[in-house]
Amino acid sequence: MTRLLSAAAPADIEAVAALLQDGGIAALPTETVYGLAGDALNPTAVQAIYAAKGRPADNPLIVHIAGPDDLSALARKIPSAARLLAERFWPGPLSIVFPRQPHVPDVVTAGLDTVAVRVPAHPAFLDVLRAGGRPLAAPSANRAGSPSSTTAAHVLHDLDGLIPAVLDGGPCTVGVESTVIDLTNKPCLLRPGGVPLEALREVLGEIAVHPAVSGELAANAQPGAPGMKYRHYSPTANVIVVDGDVQHAAEYLGWVGTGESAVLCPAEEAACFSGQRVVTYGSLTDPATLARGLFDALRTLDTPDVTHIYARCPLDETGISRAVRNRLLKAAAFQTVTV
Ligand code: AMP
Ligand code: MG
């Protein structure tokens, strides 16, 4: 059994900090999604994270620190661009990839010479970091490949009995993972996320976008962010992204839809799919709500009677919509239909 603790209770925060200091692991709320945390400098703790998640060993973890002052203990060759980004976006949903310090364990970085670091913007997570005084490795707190967890209930659904504790801090406010930017060479976006690319470009100017962000990696390509090569964020059903006009999409689904299919769409489009099983995930007029609702909706549709999920998402690649679309494309293993 996994202990359910409360982020509002100081004694529970202390209990989690003590557990982590002892080399244990625990799920903690962040502003993005729940993280499964362990002492980043303790290979046994980090190994336990991989084991609980069933995460492939070649998919590196993001290391969380309490503030920029803790960065130089993990990272080398910190460019001025990183200082500028940290000043503007930390604490917040931005992970930055640096050359790593030699004592960062191989298991954290999946053997890479680089390490991804961020300062999370969640008071409970920051309290735990400050109490422990150690950096915490924390991937999303879900079984590998499943949609990320945005509530403590999601964490328990996936990991009950596999981890000692989850600290309940309520639903995550951002709802998709951090943006990952590689600053080891020319700035390159490895994963869209909570901080929009446009906001990063305001600070740094030109930023390349890794090809894996919008299309599937060629089977033999070397991924810049190793997690990119996996089908990800997926329920057991087959996810298909349906692009194009909503009326055409409704006609298309009237044609292909069977008893085992469901539609995942923004609230505005629900009425167009009458007669279909529909789950909505936020509103097109406020894309932040799409991000916040996406993983919960995917989990709602993760039932044995749903074999196909036809997903609608914004086509526009601006702001947080870029991350929403990326997560759905990855859940769909880039299967799209344009109607
Ligand atoms: P998760 O914590 O589950 O959101 O996954 C973390 C993701 O961050 C990985 O799948 C990688 O895509 C990325 N990442 C972590 N460390 C590195 C690194 N050293 N270099 C490039 N990408 C990284
Ligand atoms: Mg993850």
| DSSP letter string, 289-332 | HHHHHHHHHHHHT-STT--EEEE------STTHHHHHHHHHHHT
55 in contact with ligand 1, CB cutoff 6 A: no
Q: Is the pLDDT of residue 209 over 90?
A: yes
Question: Which residue's C-alpha comes closest to atom 5 of ligand 1?
Answer: 139
From the CB of 70, is ligand 1 less than 6 Å away?
Answer: no
Q: Is the pLDDT of residue 220 over 50?
A: no
Q: Which two tokens stand for residue 284?
A: 């097109």
How far is 170 from 187, CA to CA, in rounded Å? 34
230 exposed, middle or buried (CB, 10 Å; 0-12, 13-18, 19+)?
middle
Task: Please determine, for residue 139, whether its predicted confidence score (pLDDT) is greater than 50.
Answer: yes
Q: Of all residues in the chain, what percent carry a pLDDT higher than 90?
A: 86
Going by alpha carbons, the residue nearest to atom 19 of ligand 1 is: 115
The pLDDT of residue 237: 87
Mutate to test the pocket of ligand 1, among 55, 143, 180, 231 (most ligand atoms within 8 A of CB): 180
* Binding site membership of 140 for ligand 1 (Cβ less than 6 Å): yes
CA of 180 to the centre of ligand 2 (A): 12
More confidently predicted of 167 and 145: 167
Is the beta carbon of 150 within 6 A of some atom in ligand 1? no
Ligand minimally distant from the alpha carbon of residue 182: 1
For residue 227 and ligand 1, the question of a CB distance below 6 A is answered with yes
Which of the listed residues 31, 33, 61, 113 should we mutate to test ligand 1's pocket, taking the one with most ligand atoms within 8 A of CB? 61
pLDDT on residue 257: 64
Q: Atom of ligand 1 at shortest distance to CA of 109?
A: 19
Q: Which pTM was predicted?
A: 0.95
How is residue 235 written in tokens? 């329920």
User: For the CA atoms of 71, 142, 293, 8, what is the dihedral angle to 10 degrees?
Assistant: -70
What atom in ligand 1 is closest to the CA of residue 114? Answer: 19
Structure tokens at 333: 């293993």
Least confident of 209-218, 258-267, 276-285: 209-218
The reply to whether ligand 1 has any atom less than 6 angstroms from the CB of 139 is: yes
Q: Of 157, 166, 137, whose CA–CA distance to 34 is shortest?
A: 166
pLDDT, tens digit (0-9, with 9 covering 90-100), for 63-108:
999 999 999 999 999 999 999 999 999 999 999 999 999 999 999 9
129 close to 64: Cβ distance less than 8 angstroms: yes
Question: In this structure, which ligand is nearest to the CA of 194?
Answer: 1
Contact 233, 295 (CB under 8 A): yes
Residue 252 Cα to ligand 2 midpoint, Å, equals 32
Q: Does the pLDDT value for residue 219 go beyond 80? A: no
Atom of ligand 1 nearest to the CA of 139: 2
- The number of beta carbons lying within 10 Å of the beta carbon of residue 306 is 20
The residue whose CA is least distant from atom 2 of ligand 1 is: 139
Separation between Cα atoms, residue 144 and residue 33, nearest integer Å: 14
Bridge partner list, 261: 308
Question: Among 24, 23, 26, which Cα is nearest to 12's?
Answer: 26
Question: Diameter of the chain by CA atoms?
Answer: 58
C-alpha dihedral (102, 103, 107, 112), degrees to nearest 10: -10
How much distance in Å is there from the Cα of 249 to the middle of ligand 1? 34
Mean pLDDT of the chain: 93
